[in-house]
Amino acid sequence: MRCSLFLINRFAQCLIIFRIRLEFLLIWFNLRHVEKNKTMSQSIKELIAGNRAWVKEVTESQPDFFKQLAEGQSPSFLWIGCSDSRVPATEITKTMPGAIFVQRNIANMVVHTDVNLLSVVYYAVKVLKVKHIIVCGHYGCGGVLAAMSNKKFGFLDNWLMNIKDVYRHHEAELDAIEDETERGDRFVELNVLEQAQNLSKISFLQEEWENGEFPYVHGWVYSLKDGLIKDLKVSANSNAELDKIFQYDV
């Protein structure tokens, strides 16, 4: 009997100790969670604060800027670039909001089944009447380098397949480059050239060329190392350079 009471008392004491430790653990976890939320909240607030500072800076130099911006947009350029956060179209070209219509995706691809991209291009050329379309890649592009490897990236492999097709078309040239960095840089350039050509294959873009000079299609590459843009010297405003199969009767 005494043994049973002793065991019961010990069990009760263990439960009490466990409960105390659990409560301390929950308090510690909640404090960490609150601190983490404070950090996250602060980082979001910094974006809002940055916006306020930017507005102040702009209005001081151009008092009517936002009034004019609200009246509408008439950009001369459509920018098809990479989603990489280090390649913002307006900042690297020193232009203000309203100057460049922008479409971005992983590795600045022009995929003919991408309804989002096609809608942007259609609106840019048919409604905004942009004068130039720029496909801009960047050296060190993660999407291009991923496509150059044989690694698996889950769902992303479906998108990377389009970039791998570019490698397949230029396999002999790329495989001959022994230095991996140099091969990656050349792959970036070839990808831009292919995407610029893919733009030229779009039927409604060829319609615009039939009716006039614009838009011109250009291929550029941005360097993260020095901030400079390299013009790949490809500018097209007709379908004359395309294989005949891609030249529509318009």
- Distance CA(201)–CA(110), nearest Å, equals 10
Q: Where are the alpha helices (DSSP H) in 63-156?
A: 65-70, 89-92, 115-126, 142-148
Active site residues: 82, 84, 86, 138, 141
- Distance CA(169)–CA(195), nearest Å, equals 13
Q: Which of 116, 108, 117, 112 has its CA nearest to residue 135?
A: 108
Half-sphere exposure of 247 (CA within 13 A, CB side): 9
161: left (phi over 0), alpha (psi -120 to 50) or beta: alpha
203: left (phi over 0), alpha (psi -120 to 50) or beta: alpha
- Distance CA(248)–CA(5), nearest Å, equals 94
Single-letter code of the amino acid located at 25? L
Q: Where are the alpha helices (DSSP H) in 62-141?
A: 65-70, 89-92, 115-126
